[in-house]
Chain A
Amino acid sequence: MLGTDLQQEAERQIVICNACRYCEGICAVFPALQMQRSFVAGDIDYFANLCHDCGACYHDCQFSPPHEFAINLPKTLAGVRQESYGRYAWPAALAPVFARNGLVIAVIAALSVTAFLAGMIMWNAPGALFSAHTAPEGFYALMSHNAMVGLFGPVFLFSIFAMLMGLRNFWRDANAVRSVSGEAPASLWQAVKDAGSLRYLDGGGAGCFNEDDKPEDKRRLYHHLTFYGFLLCFAATSVGTIYHYGFGRMAPYAWWDLPQMLGTVGGFMLAAGTGGLMAAKKRRLPDLVDEGTKGMAMAFLLMLHLTAVTGLGLHILGGTPAMGLLLALHLGVVFALFLTMPYGKFVHGLYRFAALVRLAMAKRVGLKTKVAA
C-alpha cells in the first residue's frame, strides 16, 4: 500500500484486526474494515475518521504493546486523522496549517481580538469603549449590526465553502477504489442518529476509556454538552438574525427572549463541555495519545471555551463598563473561530459524519470495486 508512514502503519495493524475480529462489536471501524480484504490510503483515512477514539479496543486487544504485533489503533488512527485533515484541506496551500495548528490558531485569535479592540477604539469617540454600555442601542453602539454582518458574513460563507471542498476531497479519496452509491437519504438519516447520539463513543456499550483501564470516561457527556451547547448558541444567533431582518426586532433582547435564553443555556453547556473535554485530554493515558494531535485539539477546545465564556461574560456584564472590552474579546474570538474553522479540529465532525454516511451506505448496498482502467 502506498501512503504516508502513519497510513502504512495503520494498514499493518488493520490487516491483523481483520484476521482477529474480536472487536467487531465495539464500534463502527471494525465492521467497516471487515468488508474489505485489501486497503488503500483512502480506506485508511476513512477508518481513521470513523474512529471516535473511545479507547476500548486498546484495552481489549490481546495484541496491544508490548506484544510484538503492537496493535494500538486509537493512537495510530488519531495520527492518521490529523494528517487527513491536511490532506483534504482546501485550498491545498493551507494544509500546512494543520501541522502547527495550536500555534497558528493562537496567533490568529490574538490578532483578531487586537483588531476588534483597535477598530472599536479608532472608529468610535474617545472613551466610547467604556461608556457604550449606557447607549440605547447596546453593543451596536460600538459596532453596527451592518458592520458585523459585513465582516462575519463573508468569512462564514468562505469557511463553509472551504469545508465543503474538503468534504468533496475526502469523499473522492475514500471512494477511490471501492465506491458506495445508493440509499443516500436513509444513510444520511442513519448518520445523523449515529453522530447525534455519539453511538460509537461508548465502547460498544461498555463505556469509553480515558486515563486508565476502567471504562468510566465522561467524554461522551462532555462532547454532548459541547456539541449541543454550540448548536444552541448558533440557534441563538440565527433567531436573532430572523428577528432582525424578519420582524425588525433589534438587539438587545430581554433575558427571557429566545435569543437570550438559547444563548445563555448554550453558553453554559459549551463552557462546561469544553472544560470537561480539556481536562479529560490532559488526563488521557499517554499510550493512547499521538503527541502531534494535542495542539490542534486543545486549540479548538480553547477557542470554543473562550467563545462561550466571553459570550456569557458579555451577557452578565453587558450593563457595566466592561462591556466594550468583552465585546471586542468575544467578537475577536468568534471571528478567529469562524476563520479557522476549515483549518482546525472543527472539521473532525464533518469527516466523521461523512464516514458514518459512507458506512451506512456500505452496510445497505455494499462496496463496489472499481475496475482499473
Chain B
Amino acid sequence: MMSSPSAPSVDVLVIGGGNAALCAAIEARRQGASVLVVEAAPKVYRGGNTRHTRNLRCAHDEGNEILTGPYPEDEFWDDLMRVTGGETDPELARLTIAESKTLWDWMNGVGVRFQQPLGGTLNLGRTNAFFLGGGRAMLNALCDTAENMGVEIRYDTSATALDIEDGFFKSAVIEGPDGPQTIHARALVTAAGGFEANIEWLKEYWGERAENFLIRGTPNNRGTILRMLLDAGVEPVGDPTQCHAVAIDARSPQFDGGIVTRLDCIIFGVVLNNRCERFYDEGEDFWPKRYAIWGRLVADQPDQIAWIVFDEQAVGRFMPSVYPAISAPTLEELAEKLGLDPSAFAAEIGRFNAAVVDGDFNTEIHDDCRTEGITPPKSHWARRIDQAPFHAYPVRPGITFTYLGTRVNREARVLMQGGRPSANIYAAGEIMAGNVLGRGYLAGIGMTIGAVFGRLAGEGAARHVGN
C-alpha cells in the first residue's frame, strides 16, 4: 500500500488539480491509499477553474454563523429543476443535494475558511458558502491539507496517454519537467475539467465563430482526458454542442480573465451588433435570470462582437468591471471610437429612444419602462439614451464551461457504453458535471458537484485498491 510516491506505481492516480481532484486525493489518502496528483498547470496556476470560483452551494436545515438561513434539500432540488429544465439524472441529483449537506463540515475539516458575502451582486448568503479569499484560497487549503497527509502533487505534469483495456485502467503516461514516465496505478480518478479551452474542439459545433470566443477560466481545460475516456468506450453525457456562455468584455485576455471581465449593465442600456442593430430584448427579465443567454446571443452576431451602449444615467448603478467604458460626448463620436458607422449608430439609438414609453424606473421589479413599436422590444427598464456623455462596453462570448462529460454512477465510477461500470476509473468535477447539470447554471453548483463526486471518487478508488 505505502509504495513510495515517486516510484512508477501508486494506488490512486488523480488527473487534475482542482477542487474535485483534491477532494478525491484527500479522501483516498484518508482511506490509506497512496495518491499521486498530476496537475498540468504550474503551481502558480494550479487548480483549473477552481481558482475562479467563489462559493459552493450546500443544503442545510439551519443557518449558522455564515449561512444566513436554512436551505432545505427540496428547495435545492426545485432550484436545480428550474435551471436545468429537468435535464439531469434525478438519482445523481438527489445524491448530490443530500451529500451537499455534509460539505460544510468536511470543508471546514480540511482547512477551508468561509466568510459572509459582503458586496456581491447576487443574494446568495443563505444558499451558498463563500470562501474567505475566494477559490484560490480554498484550493490552497486543500493542497496544503493533501500534502500534509502525504499526497504527492506534481505540477506542470499532464497525462498524455491512458492504457485502458475493456474499461479497466492499467497505466498512464505522464509528462512533466523530467520527461515522460509511465505510472501504474490500481485506480484512476479523472478530474481534469471540460474542453472549453480547446478552440478546435469547440469549432466542431460552433464553426469559425469559436475563433472569437474568450475562455473565462484555465487554458488547460482542453478536454484531453475527456477525449481519451470517450475514445476508450466511456459513455458520454450532456449535449456536446452546449456550453455556458456569457457576454464578457471583449478586451479581456483569451484565457483566465475570470470574474472581473463580467458586465452587469445590459439592462441599463441597449446592445448593438457591428451593423448597429439591436438584436434582443435587453429588459426581458431580471439580470441574474438572463445573463447566461447573452454569450450565445453575441456568438450569433456577425464577427461575434457587440456593444452595450448606455448613457450617464446608468453610471454607477452596476458592478464595476476591469476595463473602463469607452465614452464620448455625442453618440456619433462614440460610434467613431467604436469603429461603427456614426449615422447608423445614432439612427438606431434614435429609433430606440422614440419607442420608449415613460414609466417609473425600478430595477427591483419588472417595471413599466418599456418600448412600443420596435422589434426587438425592451420590455422593462427602458429609458431614453440621451444624457451625455455616452458610454459603451464591447462584448464577446465568454465561455465558462462545457456540458459534455462522462456518465458516472453514484459511486462516481464512469459507465462504459452499454451501462456497465468501469472497474477502476472514476470521474469527478466538470468532466462529469453534465450528469447533474445537463443545462443552465446555478451559482456554486459546480463546486458542489466537484466536492461531492470528488469525495465519492476518492473513497471508491481507495476501496477498490483495498479489495
Contacts and interface: CB of A to CB of B under 8 A. Distances in A.
Interface of A: 15-16, 18-26, 31, 34, 37, 56-57, 59-64, 66-69, 203-206, 213-214
A57 to B, nearest CB: 7
A343 B113 CA distance: 40
B137 A59 contact: yes
Nearest to A19: B260
Interface residues of B, number: 31
B259 A22 contact: yes
Contacts of A64: 44
A205 B134 contact: no
B120 interface: yes
B134 A206 contact: no
A163 to B, nearest CB: 33
Most chain B C-beta atoms within 10 Å of own C-beta, residue among A15, A20, A23, A59 = A20
Most chain B C-beta atoms within 10 Å of own C-beta, residue among A22, A31, A57, A60 = A22
Contacts of B259: 19-20, 22
A61 B135 CA distance: 9
Q: Lowest 10 CB-CB distances: which A-B pairs, in order?
A: A22-B134, A25-B115, A60-B133, A60-B137, A19-B260, A62-B51, A24-B118, A34-B119, A25-B132, A19-B321
Contacts of A31: 118-119
B123 to A, nearest CB: 14
Given A19-B320, A204-B113, A63 B258 contact: yes
A23 B321 contact: no
B130 interface: yes
A66 B136 contact: no
Given A20-B258, A21-B119, A26 B44 contact: no
Contacts of B136: 59-62
Contact of A57 (B54, B133, B320): B133
B320 A60 contact: no
A203 to B, nearest CB: 8
A37 B133 CA distance: 21
A90 B137 CA distance: 41
A15 B144 contact: no
Contacts of B140: 59-60, 213
24 contacts: A19-B262, A19-B320, A20-B258, A21-B118, A22-B131, A22-B134, A22-B259, A25-B115, A26-B132, A31-B118, A31-B119, A34-B119, A37-B316, A56-B133, A60-B133, A60-B136, A60-B137, A60-B140, A61-B134, A62-B136, A63-B260, A204-B132, A204-B133, A206-B132
B120 A21 contact: yes
B319 interface: yes
B256 interface: yes
Contacts of B134: 20, 22-23, 60-62
A206 B136 CA distance: 13
Contacts of A22: 54, 131, 133-135, 259
A34 B319 CA distance: 10
B116 interface: yes
B322 interface: yes
A68 B323 CA distance: 13
A310 B356 CA distance: 79
B394 to A, nearest CB: 16
Given A15-B322, A37-B320, A204-B115, 18 more contacts: A16-B322, A19-B319, A19-B322, A20-B259, A20-B260, A22-B134, A25-B115, A25-B116, A31-B118, A34-B119, A56-B133, A59-B136, A62-B136, A62-B258, A204-B113, A205-B132, A206-B137, A213-B140
A25 B118 contact: yes
B366 interface: no
Contacts of B209: none
A216 to B, nearest CB: 10
B112 to A, nearest CB: 10
Contact of B322 (A26, A61, A69): A69
Contacts of B132: 25-26, 204-206
Interface string B258-302: 111010000000000000000000000000000000000000000
A291 B163 CA distance: 51
Contacts of A61: 134, 136
Contact of A66 (B44, B51, B116, B320): B44
Interface string B44-70: 100000011010000000000000000
Nearest to B315: A37
Given A62-B52, A68-B253, A205-B113, A16 B133 contact: no
Most chain B C-beta atoms within 10 Å of own C-beta, residue among A18, A19, A56 = A19
Contacts of A26: 132-133
A15 to B, nearest CB: 7
B119 A25 contact: no
A20 B119 CA distance: 10
Contacts of B52: 62
Interface string B240-270: 0000000000000100101110100000000
Contacts of A21: 118-120
Most chain B C-beta atoms within 10 Å of own C-beta, residue among A20, A37, A62 = A62
Most chain A C-beta atoms within 10 Å of own C-beta, residue among B113, B116, B134, B144 = B134
Nearest to A61: B136
Contacts of B113: 204-206
Interface in B370-427: none
Contacts of A69: 260, 322
A155 B118 CA distance: 46
A206 B322 contact: no
B233 to A, nearest CB: 36
A20 B261 CA distance: 9
A213 B47 CA distance: 15
A324 B78 CA distance: 83
A110 B322 CA distance: 50
B239 to A, nearest CB: 29
B214 to A, nearest CB: 13
B140 to A, nearest CB: 6
B130 A25 contact: yes
A25 B321 CA distance: 19
A214 B147 CA distance: 12
B260 A23 contact: no
B150 to A, nearest CB: 17
Contacts of A62: 51-52, 134-136, 256, 258
A31 to B, nearest CB: 6
A114 to B, nearest CB: 50
Contacts of B260: 16, 19-20, 63, 69
Contacts of B133: 22-23, 25-26, 56-57, 60, 203-204, 206
B265 to A, nearest CB: 12
Most chain B C-beta atoms within 10 Å of own C-beta, residue among A37, A63, A203 = A63
A34 B113 CA distance: 22
A64 B140 CA distance: 14
A57 B136 CA distance: 10
Contacts of B118: 21, 24-25, 31, 34
A15 B131 CA distance: 21
A61 B45 CA distance: 11
